[in-house]
Amino acid sequence: MPMAVGLPSPGPPSPNRRGGADEMSDVQERLDALRKAIQYHAYRYYVLDDPVISDAEYDALWRELVALEQQHPELITADSPTQRVPGALAERFAKVRHPAPILSLANAFSPAELQAWRERFLKLLPPERQEGICYVVEPKIDGLSVVLTYEEGRFVLGATRGDGEEGEDVTANLRTVKSVPLRIPLPRDPRHEPEPTGVSAPGRLVVRGEIYTPIADFQRFNARQARAGERTYANPRNFAAGSLRQLDARITAGRPLKLWVYQIVVLEGAGPAAPRTQWEALAYLRALGFPVETRIRRFAEWDAVMAYCEEWGRTGRHQLPYEADGLVIKLDDFDLQERLGYVGKDPRWAVAYKYATEEAVTRLLEIKVNVGRTGTLNPYAVLEPVQVGGVTVTNATLHNEDYIREKDIRVGDLVVVKRAGEVIPQVLRPLPELRTGSEQIWQMPTRCPACGGQAVRPANEAAWRCVNSACPAQLVRAVEHFVSREAMDIAGFGIRQAELFVERGFIKDLADIYYLKPEDLLALEGFGEKKVANLMAAIQASKTRPPARLLTALGIQGVGQVVAENLMAHYDSLAALAAAPLEELQAIEGIGPVLAQNIVDWFAQEANRRVLEKLEAAGVTTARSAPRAAPRPAAQPLAGLTFVITGTLPTLSREQARALIQAHGGKVTDAVSKNTSYLVAGEAAGSKLAKAQQLGVPVISEEELRRMVEAA
Ligand code: IVH
C-alpha cells in the first residue's frame, strides 16, 4: 500500500480557520472518523493481508487526516495513525521491569522427548485431571520476543524480553510497526464486518508476541543493501532484532517488521470476556485487533498432536512466509496451566518442539587462530550467534589456510554453517552474492598468535605450526602429552593439573614439571599432603624412564612411540640425536624427509635446547646407560590389514601415517576396493570416502588408527 509513512510536520495554523465550538466538534468528529477508518483499513492490509478498499481510497483518507491535523495541531493525539514515527532519536533505551516473569520454553527435539514432556506433567496431575486434556499447537516464530502493555485501550509501553525480568523500553520503535495496534479494540467497519465482535477495551492488558520479518521482505531488503554496498543481515531474526533496537525509531519505521501475539501476560478489567483457555485467549486477542496467527490448531487427543507435529515437520513448516524453528505445544486450560506452574524459567504446561536445522546462515565476524598441542595453528570463525540444530553456535572451524582460500571465505561474509551430530560446527561456504564490498580477505598469521614465535608451514602440509615448545597455548597440551601413559607416565597428572599449573605460572616449559615445589602445590585448593606427596613421587619416578619415552614426551611433530624407539635405537642420547644432520636422519629406515626436517627444526630451536638442558639438570634420563640394545621390533597389531589413507589428517602427514601403519605390520594401498580393511579419512576426504561408504569399508580417523596401534 503506497502510504506516507514519515511524520508530517504540522504546518502553521490556517489563517482561514473558522472559530466556534460547533465547528471544533465537527473537526473532532471528522478526525475520529478518519483515524478509525485508517486504523481499520491498515489492519485489513497489514494484519489480515486482505484490504477492502483500494490504495487510492486509502491514500485519500490518509491525506485528509494529515491536512486536518496540520490545520489543528492541538488536536493531534499520540495514538493517531500519523504519529507512529517520532521526530527525534533516543539516547538509550530505558530499562523496564516486566509485570510478571517473561518465561522461556523447554525444548523437545524428538517424538520421544515430546512424549516424555507429557508424561512428566501427567504425573503431577490427579487422575481425574489427566483425562480430557486439550492442547493448542502454534508455530514457534523465530523473531524477537516483545511485551506490549495497553491501558484503557491505549498502547502505552512496549519492551523487549531482556532477561525475562527486565527488558528495554522500545515503545517508540514498536509504534512504527504497522501491525502493532495503537488502540484496542480495533474499530470495525460494519460494512465489511457482518458480525460485531462486541469486545471492549480491558482496563489493562499485557500481551506477549514476536516481532519478525517475512522471508521475502528480508531477502528484498538484503539484496537492495548489497547492491548499494551497505551492510546485509545474516537471517530474518537478526535483521528483525537489529531493526527494532535502533535508537533512531525513524530507521525502524523503514524496516519490514511485523508482529504476531500469542500470549496474555496480565489481564485486568475484562469482565466476562476474560478468556479461560489459550484457545479463547487467542480469539479474544484477535477480536481486539491484534495480529494472531491462524495456523494454530487445537487438539483433544494427544495422538493427534504427535501426528500433527510429524506432519508439520514435513510440510507445514516449509510453507510459512516467515521463519519458524518449530511448534509450541501448550495446555489449553488456564486452570491446568496454573496448577502445573514452572520449573526454573520454563512453564511445565508448554514445550517447544524443535526441528533440527543442520545448516544455518550467519555472519562471520572474525577469523581467529588457536594453537593445538603439536603447535598447529587452527583457524576458526567467530560467528554472529546462530541456532543450528537447536544449539547456539558462535564458533566454527575453518580447517586450514587452503580451505579458506579455496572457498574464498572472507571476514564479514555471510556464511553457511553446518553442524551434524556432535561434530564441531564448520563453515561450509560463503554467500558472495550478498557481499557489500567491505568484506576482507584474510591472511594466515606467520607468527604464533599465542607466543609470537615464528610459524612455519611444512611442505606438503595444510597446517601452519608454531615450533616453539614453550608457547603457552601449546604448553598445557604439551604437558598433558608429556605426562601421559605412553610418554613419561606420571600418575595423578592430567589435563586438569596441567591447566592449573600453567595458569599459576608454576610451569613455563616442559622441564618445569621437575621443578614443581611441594609448598606451592600445598597452597592450592584440593591439594592435601598425601596428594602432593604422591604426585611428587610419581614425578620423581618418571626421571628414570628410557630416553625413547622422553623423546616421545617432547611431542616433536611425527615422533610418536614407534618413531622415538626407532630413533633411540640409532642414537645413545638425545644430545646425539640433536646433533644429527638431516641427511643422516633421512637415511634411517622409516624416517622420511619431512619427519627428518621436523626433528632438525625442533632441536634447532633455542627454547627447546634450553628445555633439554633443564631436564638433564633435573636428573631426567636423557642418555642410555646400557650398551645399545638391538632395536625392539614394533608390535604388529595391524598385520594382515590393508589401509587406504585419504584427506588431511589432523596431525600426521600421509607419509607418516603410512610409516605408522607399516611399522605395525599393516599394508597401505592407494585405491579403495573390497579388499581394503579400513579407510583412514581426514578433512576434505573426497571420492575415496564415497567409494568406501559404497563398498561398506569401515572409515576410521587418525585417532582411531592410533588406538589400534596402541592396543598392541
Ligand atoms: S509461548 C510461557 N508461543 O519462543 C510461554 N513462545 O524458546 C512462553 N516464541 O521466548 C512463550 N513463538 O519468544 C510462545 N507461539 C509461541 C511462540 C513463542 C515464538 C518464542 C518466545 C519464547 C521462545 C522460547
Q: Note the pLDDT tens digit of each residue in 132-186.
A: 999 999 999 999 999 999 999 999 999 999 989 999 999 999 999 999 999 999 9
- The reply to whether ligand 1 has any atom less than 6 angstroms from the CB of 86 is no
Tell me how far apart the alpha carbons of residues 595 and 599 are, in angstroms, rounded to a whole number. 6
Which residue owns the Cα nearest ligand 1 atom 16? 140
Q: Whose CA is nearest to atom 13 of ligand 1?
A: 145
The answer to whether the CB of 263 falls within 8 A of the CB of 218 is no
Could you give the CA distance from residue 624 to residue 551 in angstroms, rounded to a whole number? 12
| Distance (Å) from CA 148 to ligand 1 centroid | 14
Mean pLDDT computed over every residue of the chain: 88
Higher pLDDT, 584 or 229: 584
End-to-end Cα distance, the chain: 76
Q: Where do we find the cell 491446568?
A: 336
pLDDT of residue 711: 63
Strands 426-430 and 414-418: antiparallel
User: Residue 372: is its pLDDT beyond 80?
Assistant: no
Q: Is 107 in the pocket of ligand 1 (CB under 6 A)?
A: no
Q: Which of 258, 328, 355 to mutate to test the pocket of ligand 1 (most atoms within 8 A of CB)?
A: 328
pLDDT of residue 264 exceeding 70, the answer is yes
Q: Copy the grid coordinates of residue 365.
A: 565476524
CB count within 10 Å of CB 245 equals: 14
Look at ligand 1, atom 5, and give the residue with the nearest C-alpha: 103
Q: From the alpha carbon of 107, which atom of ligand 1 is closest?
A: 7
Q: Is 551 in the pocket of ligand 1 (CB under 6 A)?
A: no
Q: How far is the CA of 265 from the centre of ligand 1 (A)?
A: 12
Question: What percentage of residues in the chain have a pLDDT greater than 90?
Answer: 57
Grid cell, residue 629, equals: 640394545
* Pairing mode of beta strands 297-299, 346-347: unpaired
1-11 as b/e: b if 16+ CB within 10 A: eebeeeebeee
pLDDT category, 101, cuts 50, 70, 90?
very high
Q: Give the mutation target among 262, 294, 323, 338 for probing the ligand 1 site: most ligand atoms within 8 A of CB.
A: 262
Closest-CA residue, ligand 1 atom 17, reads 140
**Ligand 1 center to residue 104 CA distance, Å?**
6
Q: How high is the pLDDT of residue 450?
A: 82
Question: Does the bond joining 185 to the residue before it have cis omega, within 30 degrees of 0?
Answer: yes
Residue 262 in contact with ligand 1 by CB distance below 6 A: yes
> Is 140 marked active-site?
yes
**Is 217 a pocket residue for ligand 1 (Cβ < 6 Å)?**
no
- Asked if pLDDT for residue 627 goes beyond 60, the answer is no
Mutate to test the pocket of ligand 1, among 107, 140, 293 (most ligand atoms within 8 A of CB): 140
Ligand 1 near 352 CB (within 6 A): yes
40 against 695, higher pLDDT? 40
Asked if 54 and 202 count as a contact pair (C-beta separation under 8 A), the reply is no
Give the residue, out of 102, 103, 105, with the most ligand 1 atoms within 8 A of its beta carbon, to mutate for a pocket test: 105
Rg (CA), the chain: 35
Judge if the beta carbon of residue 351 lies within 6 A of ligand 1: no
Grid coordinates representing 232 are 546485509
550 close to ligand 1 (CB < 6 Angstrom): no
pLDDT confidence of residue 616: 94
Backbone angles phi, psi at 304, to 5 degrees: -70, -35
Q: What was the pLDDT predicted at 384?
A: 94
pLDDT tens readout for residues 451-490? 888 899 988 777 898 877 668 778 888 898 999 988 999 9
What's the confidence (pLDDT) of residue 229?
Answer: 63
106 neighbors 329 (Cβ within 8 angstroms): no
Residue type, 646: T
Q: Are 700 and 658 in contact (CB under 8 A)?
A: no
H helices present in 180-277, as ranges: 215-227, 236-244, 249-253
Check if 138 has its Cβ closer than 6 Å to any atom of ligand 1: yes
Report pTM.
Answer: 0.59
pLDDT at position 630 = 46
Quote the pLDDT of residue 369: 92
Does ligand 1 lie within 6 Å of residue 160's CB atom? no
350 Cβ closer than 6 Å to some ligand 1 atom: yes
CA dist 342 and 12 (Å) reads 57
Residue 105 Cβ inside 6 Å of ligand 1? The answer reads yes
Query: Given this model, what pLDDT does residue 685 score?
Result: 77
CA of 147 to the centre of ligand 1 (A): 12
Q: Which three three-digit cell numbers place residue 580?
A: 644429527
Q: Residue 633 has what pLDDT?
A: 56
Is the CB of 210 within 6 Å of ligand 1? yes
The DSSP symbol for 608 reads H
Question: Is there an atom of ligand 1 within 6 Å of 236 CB?
Answer: no
Q: Assess contact for 368 and 380: CB atoms under 8 A.
A: yes
Question: Which cell numbers in the block locate residue 639?
Answer: 598385520
- Burial grade of 154 (CB within 10 A; 0-12, 13-18, 19 or more): middle
Q: Which of 7-11, 53-57, 100-104, 521-525 has the lowest mean pLDDT?
A: 7-11
> Shortest CA distance to 493 belongs to which of 450, 470, 527, 529?
527
| Distance from the alpha carbon of residue 232 to the mean position of ligand 1, in angstroms | 27
What does residue 495 show for φ and ψ, rounded to 5 degrees? -60, -35
Q: Give the closest residue to 519 by CA, choosing from 507, 536, 503, 500.
A: 536
Return the ligand 1 atom nearest residue 145 CA. 13
Say how many Å lie between the CA of residue 22 and the centre of ligand 1.
50
Sorted by sequence, the CB contacts under 8 Å of residue 15 that are 6+ apart come out as none
Which pLDDT score is estimated for 5?
33
Distance from the alpha carbon of residue 140 to the mean position of ligand 1, in angstroms: 6
Q: Which of 107, 135, 145 is the pocket-test mutation for ligand 1 (most atoms within 8 Å of CB)?
A: 145
Confirm or reject: Cβ of 347 under 6 Å from ligand 1: yes
* Tens digit of each residue's pLDDT (9 = 90 or more) over 404-434: 999 999 999 999 998 754 457 889 999 999 9
> Is residue 476 in contact with ligand 1, taking CB distance under 6 Å?
no
Instruction: Find out whether 570 and 564 touch, Cβ atoms under 8 Å.
Output: no
Instruction: State the distance from the centre of ligand 1 to the C-alpha of 202, rounded, in angstroms.
Output: 23
Phi-psi region of 319 (alpha: psi -120 to 50; beta: other; left: phi over 0): alpha
Residue 397: the pLDDT is 85
Residues in the chain: 712
**Which residue's alpha carbon is nearest to atom 6 within ligand 1?**
140
The closest residue, in CA terms, to atom 23 on ligand 1 is 104
Identify the pLDDT of residue 348. Answer: 95
Set 140, 258, 330, 418: catalytic member: 140
Q: Whose CA is nearest to atom 22 of ligand 1?
A: 104
Calculate what percentage of the chain has a pLDDT beyond 70.
93
Q: Please list, in sequence order, all residues whose beta carbon lies within 8 angstroms of the beta carbon of residue 519, skipping any fewer than 6 positions away.
A: none
User: How far apart are the C-alpha atoms of 20 and 373, rounded to whole Å?
Assistant: 88
Predicted pLDDT at 629: 46
Over range 695-708, report the average pLDDT.
85
Residue 9's pLDDT band, with cuts at 50, 70 and 90, is: very low
573-609, pLDDT tens digit by residue? 999 999 999 999 988 888 888 889 999 999 998 889 9
User: In 3-state terms, what secondary structure has residue 513?
Assistant: helix
Q: Tell me which DSSP letter residue 131 carries.
A: S
The closest of 211, 292, 291 to 244, measured between CA atoms, is 211
Report whether residue 260 contacts ligand 1, using a CB cutoff of 6 Å.
Answer: no
Residue closest by Cα to atom 21 of ligand 1:
145
Ligand 1 atom closest to Cα of 293?
Answer: 15
Give dist(CA 298, CA 301) in Å, integer.
9
Residue nearest to atom 11 of ligand 1 (CA): 104
Higher pLDDT, 217 or 2: 217
How do residues 10-59 score in pLDDT, each as one tens digit?
334 444 445 577 778 899 999 999 999 999 999 999 888 888 898 889 99
